Amino acid sequence: MISLPNIFGMSRLVISEDARSGDLAALALAINEILRLPVTFRSKRHPGVRVENGAVLDDNYSGPVLEEVIRTGKGIRTIPATGAYQGVPVRVAPIIVDGQAIAAIGVVDLMGTIDIPEVFGAYGDVIKQVQGQAPERK
């Protein structure tokens, strides 16, 4: 775990195009706590953080999808070909202020790891089977 000191002497959360990893870590940790999924977060001008299991694993993190989202200002759902999450579905969204992407935040896309047709494909058959086994109403 990487400890990030409060260099400003007061509690605050800063999200700007110049935010550094120490500015972004608290929010990334909170999102990780809520979702229980890996979170990445960087500003436009500086690398950010990679958070997993309640800990900052990297405080100088950037990834190709974060960078593309900041460049385009558009959210992306993809499977990266490179980086720490290579081969893992991710979703990344920009933080837009005054029409400009100042940062990007991403999470592992849990739904992207599930084969929906496989999981729900037999749902209709299961319902029919369960209904067929239910006692008749009188």
Backbone φ, ψ for residue 48 (5° rounding): -125, -130
Please compute the mean of the pLDDT values over residues 72-76 and round it to a whole number. Answer: 98
**Predicted pLDDT of residue 126:** 67
Q: From CA 68, how far away is CA 81, in angstroms rounded?
A: 13
In order of their start, the domains of the chain are: 21-133 (3.30.450)
**Predicted pLDDT of residue 87:** 92
Q: How many other C-beta atoms lie within 10 A of the C-beta of residue 27? A: 19
**Predicted pLDDT of residue 13:** 81
Q: From CA 32, how far away is CA 20, in angstroms rounded?
A: 18
100 versus 14: the higher-pLDDT residue is 100
* pLDDT over 60 (residue 7): no
Sheet holding 76-78, edge to edge: 55-61, 48-52, 39-43, 100-108, 90-97, 76-78
**Predicted pLDDT of residue 1:** 46
- Percent of the chain beyond pLDDT 70? 74
- The pLDDT confidence band at residue 123, using thresholds 50, 70 and 90, is low
- The pLDDT confidence band at residue 9, using thresholds 50, 70 and 90, is low
79-122: per-residue pLDDT in tens?
A: 999 989 999 999 999 999 999 999 999 999 987 666 666 666 66
Backbone φ, ψ for residue 29 (5° rounding): -65, -40
138 versus 84: the higher-pLDDT residue is 84
The model's pTM: 0.76
Please compute the mean of the pLDDT values over residues 45-71 and round it to a whole number. Answer: 97
